[in-house]
Amino acid sequence: MKFSKVLLDDIILTSDNKEKIKDIILEFKQKELLQTYKLNPKTKILFCGPPGCGKTVTAESIANELQLPLLYTRFDSIISSYLGETATNLRKVFDFAKEGEWVLFFDEFDSIGKSRSIDSEHGELKRVVNSFLQLLDNFSKNTMVIAATNYETIIDKALWRRFDEVIYFGMPKEDDIEKFIRLKLRNYYHKELNIERHLNNLVGLSYADIERICYESIKKMVLDGLDKINDSLFEKIILKERDRRELIKKSMG
């Protein structure tokens, strides 16, 4: 559990995703008004898309905008090899969440959300999916549930239907990359850094990758005794990041 300080304006989202997030926040803030008309706010949200593209930080920003604590749960941490224990652990999380008002964030959702039609999966996993469906259906409207997955194609169809909103976080395009770099380096660059010049070399990287490049560039600037980040420094860090990614790919076969 933590209290987030991330603001919605601190993250770069597509205009479509930002509009969806703002609508979700507004509906939750006005849930009493909606309920007087027998309407329900969106409280069950699925974030999907490749890793490092803003799912977790967006959940943190929602919690902050709603002034609610973020109850962070990794699904792979509650999975047990003992029969029935995973469903029990899952129930404990929901029972705890019922005691307050939170943004309940499930990361690595695909760990239990895999389709029940996948033949290779153990029957226990199918029972866990059924348990999650029941818990989600009966859960309090005072807490927002957000689940995040990098592998949306394997999520059980019944789970998809339970979510009020599904938001896809794709790899950033050039315009969003430029905005993100300007945000992260706003105190560390001036005319010596031509951001547009580097955009082509950054396409295909996630926000997490680009944030690492920005962070390493700031460190290099400090250690080299420079006042600002220049093109030469930034380009060297980009090349190092690409070498690092290539090494990771090779090590994974």
Angle in degrees, CA 107, 108, 113, rounded to 5: 110
Helix (H, G, I), strand (E, B) or coil at 146: strand
Q: What is the CATH number of domain 174-248?
A: 1.10.8.60
Q: How far apart are CA 253 and CA 245, in angstroms?
A: 13
Q: Is 246 or 24 the better-scoring residue by pLDDT? A: 24
Predicted TM-score of the model (pTM): 0.88
- In this predicted structure, the answer to whether residue 176 has a pLDDT above a threshold of 50 is yes
Instruction: Give the dihedral sign, CA 78/79/81/87.
Output: positive
pLDDT in tens, 127-150: 788 888 888 888 877 899 999 999
pLDDT in tens, 189-215: 777 899 999 999 999 999 999 999 999
| pLDDT band at residue 6 using 50, 70 and 90 as cut-offs | very high
Mean of pLDDT over the chain: 88
The reported pLDDT for the residue numbered 123 is 66
Using CA atoms, how far residue 86 sits from 11, 89, 140, 162, 172, in Å, is 34, 5, 21, 20, 35
- In this predicted structure, the answer to whether residue 160 has a pLDDT above a threshold of 80 is yes
- In this predicted structure, the answer to whether residue 21 has a pLDDT above a threshold of 80 is yes
- In this predicted structure, the answer to whether residue 120 has a pLDDT above a threshold of 50 is no
pLDDT in tens, 33-69: 999 999 999 999 999 999 999 999 999 999 999 999 9
In the chain, CATH 1.10.8.60 sits at: 174-248
Rounded to an integer, the average pLDDT of 160-169 is: 93
Angle in degrees, CA 162, 164, 167, rounded to 5: 110
CB-neighbour burial class of residue 7 (10 A; exposed 0-12, middle 13-18, buried 19+): exposed
- In this predicted structure, the answer to whether residue 118 has a pLDDT above a threshold of 60 is no
Q: Which two tokens stand for residue 51?
A: 């890793």
The reported pLDDT for the residue numbered 114 is 60
Spell out the CATH class of 8-168: alpha beta
Q: What are 241-246's contacts with CB under 8 Å, separation 24+? A: 241/205, 241/209, 241/212, 241/213, 241/216, 242/201, 245/205, 245/209
pLDDT in tens, 64-116: 999 999 999 877 777 776 667 888 888 999 989 888 899 999 998 877 766 54
Provide the strand spans (E) within 96-230.
Answer: 103-107, 144-149, 165-168
AA identity, residue 84:
G
In the chain, CATH 3.40.50.300 sits at: 8-168
